[in-house]
A = this chain, B = another copy of it.
Amino acid sequence: MAQKPSIPKGTRDFTPQEVAKRNFIFDIIKTEFKKFGFQAIETPSFENSDTLMGKYGEEGDRLIFKILNSGDFLKKADESAYADKDSLKLTPSISEKALRYDLTVPFARYVVQHQNEIDFPFKRYQIQPVWRADRPQKGRFREFFQCDADVVGSDSLWQEVEFVQLYDSVFSALKLDGVTIKINNRKILSGFAEVIGEQDKLIDFTVALDKLDKIGEDGVVKEMLAKGIAEEAIEKIKPIFGLQGDFAEKIEALKSILSTSEAGLKGIEELEFIQNAISEMPLKTAKLDLDVTLARGLNYYTGAIFEVSAPEGVKMGSIGGGGRYDDLTGIFGLKNMSGVGISFGLDRIYLVLEELNLFPEAVADDVKVLFVNFGEKEALYAFKGVNALRAEGINAEVFPDSAKMKKQMNYANKRNIPFVILAGDEEMAAGEYTLKNMKTGEQDRLNLKDIIAKIA
């Protein structure tokens, strides 16, 4: 019986045009990753559940796709959980594997597992899909690609400098000019909490602060109060809400705000190092900006925090982010391995390029030439021609059936094939082919050598 075909919600089919556009982005990212010395690794789509569970918080655990054990899986089912019909408790006994939720935890697992073969510092990139059982919505999918570059095994701040340059290089190569690379430092945020005497509320404080551009100063104050942060503490920190000026000016203001915090001053020093290096080696098209409200996954990052926003005028969340984490591999038993990394948001970058019309016209590796098929004898002659073109690296095809001319020309038009070649008795006798330019309508009878020269 025929089924009406569909795909699971939150997943996507990609048409040839979409694949070509996505590959346009992937290829540029990969090329820049390689220029910067990053090496590709790949990890399995599913990991042992205990590799993933507990690494992303309770909410994360819930959003991890679990794979049902094969065979008679109920045989090993936890009996009390089964009796209680307790899904959560039953899961570990009937599911041992889970789909990867991000690329960071598998990377940490990889580094620990392969530590003896790796030459540190290890600069790896990884471009693979991840899966999350999130509620699908506009721009949020259950299967999507992450594009990560990380370095582990060095705490040099030059890495941060390089990641700023890498962002700039990728977005410049994509011709997406005018993105803002926002930078902050976990130590700045710790400094704020310290100077207002609310170290124990660091997370609440920064989660609220992070929302400044969404809910405004009043909203942030309200949320801080609700979280039990003292009114006089908030009063003390108010100058950071309105921090103005360029990078250097903001740094100066911070020096005064954080003058009593050792962590804060260390954070300032790190930011200055990065800013100085970048001013010595100016960015191509991106802008580096200090954003002291930037927090992202705070309980994760220990130094620099990055986020990239689309050019002004484009409504889109961040199109990239990252930061430094001092103990990525500790969860798997390898201590003191500092790492720093960034990520590119493929789907959002795609939408931005689409909105700004930045995909090159000929992004698809499309067919350049269609040979019309007039029948068996002519088809063989056409195939000999197509072979010669392919040997020169030209993508070309022969229409497989000797269908009506109109149908074949329609196919060429719909596929946006720029050249059509026709060859009947006359051409065959002369050892030539008639080349038709589908845009201009121009027609020429030429030999293969001249056709190749004309097309390539």
Q: Hey, which bits of chain A sit against chain B, CB under 8 A?
A: 2-8, 11-16, 19-20, 23, 34-37, 39-48, 50-51, 62-63, 65-68, 70-75, 77, 82, 85-88, 90-91, 94-97, 99, 109-110, 112-114, 117, 119, 121, 123-124, 129, 131, 133, 143, 151, 154-156, 158-159, 161-162, 165, 169, 277, 280-281, 330-333, 364-367, 373, 379-380, 383-384, 387, 390, 393-401, 411, 414-415
26 example contacts (A-B, Cβ-Cβ < 8 A) are as follows: A2-B330, A3-B333, A4-B332, A5-B109, A6-B48, A13-B41, A13-B110, A13-B113, A13-B114, A16-B40, A19-B40, A19-B41, A20-B40, A23-B40, A34-B365, A34-B395, A36-B397, A37-B367, A45-B143, A65-B68, A75-B87, A82-B85, A119-B411, A151-B400, A277-B383, A281-B383
- Report A291 CB to chain B, min CB distance, Å: 24
CB-based contact A51/B5 at 8 Å: yes
Cβ–Cβ < 8 Å partners of A65 in chain B? 46, 67-68, 70
* Distance of A37 Cα from B383 Cα, bound (Å): 13
CB-based contact B85/A68 at 8 Å: no
CB-based contact A112/B19 at 8 Å: no
CB-based contact B383/A158 at 8 Å: yes
* Distance of A43 Cα from B35 Cα, bound (Å): 30
With A13-B41, A13-B110, A72-B87 already in contact, the answer to whether A154 and B401 are too (CB < 8 A) is yes
CB-based contact A45/B45 at 8 Å: yes
CB-based contact A35/B390 at 8 Å: yes
With A68-B68, A74-B87 already in contact, the answer to whether A14 and B37 are too (CB < 8 A) is no
With A40-B20, A45-B143 already in contact, the answer to whether A400 and B121 are too (CB < 8 A) is yes
CB-based contact B74/A70 at 8 Å: no
- Report A227 CB to chain B, min CB distance, Å: 29
With A37-B396, A42-B13, A154-B401 already in contact, the answer to whether A87 and B62 are too (CB < 8 A) is no
Cβ–Cβ < 8 Å partners of A11 in chain B? 44-46
* Distance of A329 Cα from B241 Cα, bound (Å): 60
Given A4-B332, A36-B390, 5 more pairs with CB closer than 8 A:
A13-B41, A68-B68, A151-B400, A162-B383, A277-B380
Cβ–Cβ < 8 Å partners of A384 in chain B? 280-281
Identify the 9 closest CB pairs spanning chains A and B, nearest first.
A37-B397, A2-B333, A11-B44, A16-B39, A156-B400, A14-B42, A154-B400, A70-B133, A19-B40
Residue of B12, B41, B123, B400 near A158 (CB, 8 A) is B400
Dominant secondary structure at the A interface: mixed
* Distance of A113 Cα from B77 Cα, bound (Å): 38
* Distance of A332 Cα from B41 Cα, bound (Å): 37
Cβ–Cβ < 8 Å partners of A8 in chain B? 44, 46-48, 96-97
CB-based contact A119/B46 at 8 Å: no
* Distance of A123 Cα from B411 Cα, bound (Å): 12
Cβ–Cβ < 8 Å partners of A364 in chain B? 39
Residue of B13, B70, B114 near A43 (CB, 8 A) is B13
CB-based contact A397/B70 at 8 Å: no
Cβ–Cβ < 8 Å partners of A20 in chain B? 40
CB-based contact A415/B119 at 8 Å: yes
Q: Which residue of B lies closest to A334 (CB)?
A: B2
CB-based contact B158/A379 at 8 Å: yes
CB-based contact B119/A414 at 8 Å: yes
Cβ–Cβ < 8 Å partners of A41 in chain B? 13-16, 19
* Distance of A113 Cα from B367 Cα, bound (Å): 24
Cβ–Cβ < 8 Å partners of A383 in chain B? 158, 161-162, 277, 281
With A41-B14, A119-B411, A151-B400 already in contact, the answer to whether A333 and B36 are too (CB < 8 A) is no
CB-based contact A68/B71 at 8 Å: no
With A13-B44, A35-B390, A35-B394 already in contact, the answer to whether A51 and B113 are too (CB < 8 A) is no
- Report A114 CB to chain B, min CB distance, Å: 7
CB-based contact B158/A398 at 8 Å: yes
Cβ–Cβ < 8 Å partners of A112 in chain B? 5
* Distance of A80 Cα from B310 Cα, bound (Å): 54
Q: Which residue of B lies closest to A417 (CB)?
A: B37
* Distance of A20 Cα from B33 Cα, bound (Å): 14
- Report A384 CB to chain B, min CB distance, Å: 6
* Distance of A400 Cα from B143 Cα, bound (Å): 35
* Distance of A390 Cα from B332 Cα, bound (Å): 35
